[in-house]
Structure 1
Amino acid sequence: MAEVALINIDKCEVIDPSETGHGFKMKEAVGNWMTMDILWLFTIPVDGQPAPPPATPAKPVWGRPVARVPVGHWAGDRVIIVDQDAGSASMNLPADLLARFPEADPEGDAIEFALENLKHVGLADYKPAEKLDANDALFPTDRVWVVRNLTKRWYARGDVLVKAEKLSGPAITAGVGLSDLVWAEIGGAMSCGSSHGERFDIQTLASIQNPEDGQEWVDKSKQAKSTLVSFDMNDDVSALRGEDEDY
């Protein structure tokens, strides 16, 4: 198992799982629920409401605090997951990112390039007063939430990806869900995902039905469900989390 890092290309930021309490390696991150915990990086509150600040403070790691970012901080940015086996920075990262660090070696490992040059940040988080329910003003459960690939203009509905009894607004109570799909698509899965370095967010279905730019979106909910099943089976997601597979 190789070390892993989550990279925001546009903001020049990196999240190191060892600094967020999720371990060093891919399977450790999966087993420690990081694929669920990235949810609030990409999720946008309903009705144009402002994103809330981090619910918990920066956490000191290795003697220094790694500050959390606000909810939705990575929504709409180019993102990618790389590990030690990914190869060089020049093979994995776009030229515009490499150009911002002219002193760095582009032929070195992509993960080393990211960890040595990009800004280290923590995860976003959100803690409702009680549980997520229909009364939650920012992330209500009485609306359908979707994962959107803004680069390729496709979306996947949460009510297709997740059984109703395990769905709580954009979050889930068990199994694999919306943020697991983003994780798999941006490079966190062994055998699925084809959206490395692309732009994602998580919003309500209204953002698809009434897009501000008037352009069409393609419903890829069924294909995305297959991606999640493949991710769960081939990367041992349920087993690592101590859950039973249930599709």
Structure 2
Amino acid sequence: MAQLWRVIAPERKETTGSLGTLDEALLSGSAAGLVPLLAVPLHQHRFVATPRRRQAITNNSSVEISSAKVARVRTHDSQPIAPNAPKTLSSLSSHVHCIIFRYLDNPFDALRLSLTNRYFWAVGLRRLEDFIMESLAPWAGERIVCVSDESDPRAIPDEILNETEKADLEELKGIYDLSNSAPTHGWRTVGAPVLPEELRKFVVEYEATHPMSEADHAEIMMGLKPEMLDFYPRDQPWILRNLTTKEYVRGEVIALKGEFVQGPNIEVLGFAEILVSRISWSSREAYFGRDKNLAHGKWAGHRFDITTLPAHEERAGNDGWRDVSDEVLRDLDVIIGSQKGDDWREHMSRRRQKSISSMRLGYT
């Protein structure tokens, strides 16, 4: 019977949903959810909060919305204040309002103030985006390992899991057999970013007593949805970093085709599949293809993140780091080639193109 796999972050007692078999994890995209757990967003904002802090924006709709926000802030700051007029929160400058937002350490408090009017939304969105960015990439820098329902915690080396973590995994395996059931007893299943969805849900509940126009609703909902293009630009090369061994893999090298690279997301085969092929650990042999055993991955229990190559070079430089993209590529040829043949790259690319054509024709 085929083993079922899932990735765990033992220090956080968190786990993905079931990835299915190794075939499904490596060839069918079931592991793609690992990317948002590790991809660190660039520290930039989609929209402009004040005229002093303009950011480069590449999306046309964002430019329009951003310009509208700048206009709201400028209009507010240009309003004359009568000498004897009472000082209120609204009469303060946008600079002071930005400072107030920075002191709010609860995202829902920031959202409540932002929903006061269209001006405060223009100023507050920057702080809301700070909260959203902080909620992204929760597993960046965390130790992770891909375990199966045949993984005996007692047989896992100490350098991968300590005794407490082995006991935790034993507990997890006792709850269920690594199927799709939700864990309990302290374990938590992680998936898409939770905070943006919670903020959007708050807005829906808020509207029940504070109706807003359709345009305002659309602007707010879009502002609270972190699209990959917004925080993870496609015009820069992205890399998967093994922080434990100081090695990295370049996305453009492992991608089957350049057009498949969408920022940190790489269609068909990308960083998620690389990880599964190298962090799996099972007490039972896990053959993929004819003779490639992935049961004892060389990166099991290591720490990772996904970032841009320029950001890596700026922070880390060449201080002992090694580019292992070609090595990983050769391993993929052995792993997947043993299953799909020497032309596996072309075969998988054609399958992806065929799938897109079917969708355009309306097939399911």
* TM-score w.r.t. length of structure 2: 0.49
Q: Distance in 2 between matches of 1:51 and 1:76?
A: 19
Q: Hey, what's the Cα distance between the residues in 2 that align with 1:96 and 1:48?
A: 41
Distance, in Å, in 1 between the alignment partners of 2:260 and 2:150 is 34
CA distance in 1, matches of 2:329, 2:306: 16
User: Which SS does the other structure have where 1:34 is aligned?
Assistant: coil
* CA-CA distance at 1:159 after TM superposition: 1.3
Q: 1:29 to 1:245 in 2, by over 3 A?
A: closer
Q: 1:31 to 1:165 in 2, by over 3 A?
A: closer
Considering fraction of residues, name the structure with more helix: 2
Query: What is residue 244 of structure 1 aligned with on the other side?
Result: 347
Structure 1 ranges of 4+ moved more than 4 A: 28-32, 48-51, 115-118
Structure 2 residue corresponding to 1:72, chosen from 122, 137, 148: 137
1:160 matched to 2:253? The reply is: yes
Shift of 1:157: 0.8
State the match for 1:15 in structure 2.
16
Seq. identity, %: 21
**CA distance, structure 2, for counterparts of residue 117 and residue 137 of structure 1:** 36
Correspondence for 1:148: 241
Secondary structure (helix, strand or coil) at the match of 1:244 reads helix
2:38 pairs, out of 34, 37, 42, with 42
| CA distance in 2: counterparts of 1:79 and 1:91, whole angstroms | 17
Q: Deviations over 1:59-93 (max 9, x none)?
A: xxxxxxxxxxx53111111100111333x212225
Aligned equivalents of 2:328, 2:131: Cα separation in 1:
27
- Which structure dedicates a bigger proportion of its chain to strand? 1
Distance 1:121 1:137, change over 3 A: same
1:144-200 superposed Cα distances (whole Å, 9 cap, x missing partner) = 000000000000111111131111111123x31122112211117743541001111
Q: Gapped runs of 5+ residues in structure 1? A: 54-69, 237-242
> Residue in 2 aligned with 1:52?
132
Q: Distance in 1 between matches of 2:25 and 2:165?
A: 26
Shift of 1:213: 8.7
**How many matched pairs?**
212
Shift of 1:30: 4.5
Please give the residue correspondences for 1:1-247 in structure 2 after superposition, counting only pairs within 5 Å.
1-17=2-18, 24-30=20-26, 32-47=28-43, 50=130, 52=132, 70-86=135-151, 88-92=152-156, 94-98=161-165, 119-124=187-192, 136-162=229-255, 163-173=257-267, 175-187=268-280, 190=287, 191=292, 193-211=297-315, 215-234=319-338, 244-246=347-349
SS in 2 for 1:47: coil
Post-superposition shift, 1:203? 0.4
* Contact persistence 2:27–2:269 (CA under 8 A): no
| Distance in 1 of aligned mates of 2:349 and 2:165 | 42
> Which residue is equivalent to 1:63?
none
Secondary structure of 1:140's aligned partner: coil
| Deviation readout 1:104-134 (Å, 9 max, x if unpaired) | 869x88x869x6755131323599x79x78x
- Alpha-carbon spacing, 1:151–1:117, altered in 2? closer, same or farther (3 Å): farther
Larger Rg, first or second structure (1 or 2): 2
Residue 199 of structure 1 aligns with an amino acid whose one-letter code is R
Tell me the SS of whatever aligns to 1:82. Answer: strand
Contact 1:51 1:71 in 2 (8 A): no
1-structure distance, mates of 2:317, 2:163: 26
Contact between 1:160 and 1:221, CA under 8 Å: does it hold in 2? yes
Q: Is the 8 A contact 2:248 2:324 kept in 1?
A: yes
Cα separation, partners in 2 of 1:75 and 1:48, compared to 1, 3 Å: farther
Q: 1:14 to 1:222 in 2, by over 3 A?
A: same
Query: What SS does the corresponding residue of 1:137 show, helix, strand or coil?
Result: helix
In structure 2, distance between residues paired with 1:99 and 1:184: 22
Match in the other structure for 2:52: none
Question: Are the equivalent residues in 2 in contact too, given 1:208–1:217 (CA < 8 A)?
Answer: no
State the AA in 2 paired with 1:34.
Answer: S
* Contact 1:176–1:232 (Cα < 8 Å) also in 2: no
Structure 1 CA distance for aligned equivalents of residues 274 and 131 of structure 2:
22
SS in 2 for 1:215: coil
In the alignment, structure 2 segments of 5+ residues that lack a partner are: 46-129, 198-221, 341-345, 351-364
